Amino acid sequence: MFQCKTSEQPVVDRQETAAIDTIQKDSIKVETEITKDTLTKDTTPPKLTPKQLQLCAFDEKMAFFRSLKNEQKINLKYPGKLLRKGDSGIAVIPIKRKLQLLGLLKEDSLTIHFDSSMNTAIKKFQKMHNIRADGIPGRNTFRFLSWPVNKYTQSLEKNRNRIAQQPDSLPATRIEINIPEYTLRFYEIDTVVQQFEVVVGKYKNQTPTLNSKIAYLVFNPCWTVPHSIAVKSILPRLKRDTTFLDNRNMFITENGERKNHHKIDFSQFNKSNFPYKIFQNASPGNALGQVKFMFENSHLVYLHDTPSKYLFNKDFRTFSSGCIRVNHAMELAKLILNADQNKAIIKNKLAKGYPVKVHLNEPIPIIIQYQTARYNEQLDMVQFFYDCYGLD
């Protein structure tokens, strides 16, 4: 665990010490015990706030990277094939040099052999960048291995400024989402209870940073298809086959009135004149899954479940149109309802088969932020993430 100086040592009053010298030996013993007890209490470091913890970790890591200013140029290129434990070759040497530079590998291990120590170091490096820690340096691992040291210092400086602008204290119960980390954390009493993988918006449909409060959950949500998706993805398919909607439990409305889509000639419409709204009923294949989490914001984004679970296996997860998809969303729903002391029984709500709102007694704060570097208290490590929106 990193060390952070948070208070100065107490100053001993010399006059008080001189006075003590005039007291009898028995009194001195008593006074000494009291002084020891007082000093012990005064020197106990206070618990750091989440903001202080981040800043302290950043400052320590910044000092480390600045000490590496004499970095030698290391020629790191993806070798075109996956290297694994037990392999040998000159391609191993530059990887080991970079791991040594970062303090992840001992200096006496510079050989052409991909040994156990290198495998362990690669896993640490992968965790440091929040990618799959399998010990195999693939393309995503090489993306970060190629970073020069000054990229780390620049990332720390920019993200330290972001953290410095955050409030000094945060609600004890809250949800935090870090976009470039693709991670949601649920906190109670300022402690991470559980974390979840998330999918965020594509580069052209970026998930916004914001502060709000989750006011209610909707079980069995009905999806209102965004107009952009309707005209770009669905309309071309409807021109070929109107049963596309039937197969996906969808329907069409115009001015609030449901229409028979089999009687519509979709060939006459394009992106600029498509007059309909498309909805998807609650169902196992619904794009919003079994639950969505609603909070006030001007961007009209929300959290939701998804049937596309395979995307959570990817290292970089920018696939949505702006909303945030949550892995194991029903587990998050349980945590929220338990924290809210809400007696709603989820299975009963789901059994209804139609959208059901559950309002929270006390809305839960949600913070969506963009940090390409962050101190992970569980791993005791400053992690660095891919700048998916190019904001650094």
Whether 11 shows a pLDDT value over 90: the answer reads no
Same fold, 72-147 and 152-222+284-384: no
Whether 210 shows a pLDDT value over 90: the answer reads yes
**Helix H or strand E segment including 318:** strand 318-320
Whether 27 shows a pLDDT value over 70: the answer reads no
**CATH number of the structural domain 152-222+284-384:** 2.40.440.10
Is 304 annotated as catalytic?
Answer: yes
Q: Is 109 exposed, middle or buried (0-12, 13-18, 19+ CB in 10 A)?
A: middle
pLDDT by residue (tens digit) across 315-345? 999 999 999 999 999 999 999 999 988 887 8
Q: How confident is the model at residue 26 (pLDDT cuts 50, 70, 90)?
A: very low
pLDDT value, residue 79: 81
pLDDT value, residue 77: 80
d(CA 93, CA 258): 66
pLDDT value, residue 30: 43
Q: Of all residues in the chain, what percent carry a pLDDT higher than 70?
A: 87
CA angle 123, 125, 126 (to 5 degrees): 65
**Residues with Cβ < 8 Å from 148, sequence gap 6 or more?**
71
Which residue, chain included where needed, has tokens 């990193």?
2
Whether 21 shows a pLDDT value over 60: the answer reads no
Average pLDDT, the chain: 88
d(CA 1, CA 312): 30
Which residue, chain included where needed, has tokens 């649920």?
186
pLDDT by residue (tens digit) across 73-119? 777 888 888 999 999 989 999 999 999 999 999 887 788 999 999 99
Which residue, chain included where needed, has tokens 């993200």?
159
CATH class of 72-147: mainly alpha
d(CA 218, CA 200): 20
Task: Supply φ then ψ for residue 102, to 5 degrees.
Answer: -85, 0
d(CA 276, CA 255): 8
Q: Are 222 and 355 contacting, i.e. CB atoms less than 8 angstroms apart? A: yes
Q: How confident is the model at residue 4 (pLDDT cuts 50, 70, 90)?
A: low
pLDDT value, residue 45: 65
Q: Which residues pair with 320 in a beta bridge?
A: 201
pLDDT by residue (tens digit) across 165-186? 999 899 999 999 999 999 999 9
Nearest to 87 by CA among 58, 63, 122: 122
Q: Are 141 and 121 contacting, i.e. CB atoms less than 8 angstroms apart? A: no
Q: How confident is the model at residue 253 (pLDDT cuts 50, 70, 90)?
A: very high
**Helix H or strand E segment including 58:** helix 50-66
CA angle 71, 77, 79 (to 5 degrees): 140
Is 56 annotated as catalytic?
Answer: no
Nearest to 106 by CA among 115, 118, 94, 95: 118
Catalytic residue from among 129, 261, 304, 388: 304
pLDDT value, residue 44: 60
pLDDT value, residue 370: 98
pLDDT value, residue 40: 53
Nearest to 58 by CA among 147, 130, 170, 153: 153
Q: Which residues pair with 324 in a beta bridge?
A: 303
DSSP state of 328: T
pLDDT value, residue 5: 52
Catalytic residue from among 323, 328, 359, 388: 323
The distance of Cα 118 from the centroid of its chain, to the nearest Å, equals 27
pLDDT value, residue 325: 98
Whether 14 shows a pLDDT value over 50: the answer reads no
Q: Domain residues of the chain, as ranges?
A: 72-147, 152-222+284-384, 224-280
218-246 burial code (b ≥16 CB/10 A, e <16): bbbbbbebbeeebbeebbeebeeebeebe
Q: How confident is the model at residue 284 (pLDDT cuts 50, 70, 90)?
A: confident
| HSE-CB of 80 using CA atoms within 13 angstroms | 0
How far is the CA of 248 from the CAs of 5, 244, 319, 328, 330, in angstroms? 59, 7, 20, 23, 22
Lowest mean pLDDT among 99-113, 239-253, 264-278, 295-309: 99-113
**Helix H or strand E segment including 127:** helix 116-128
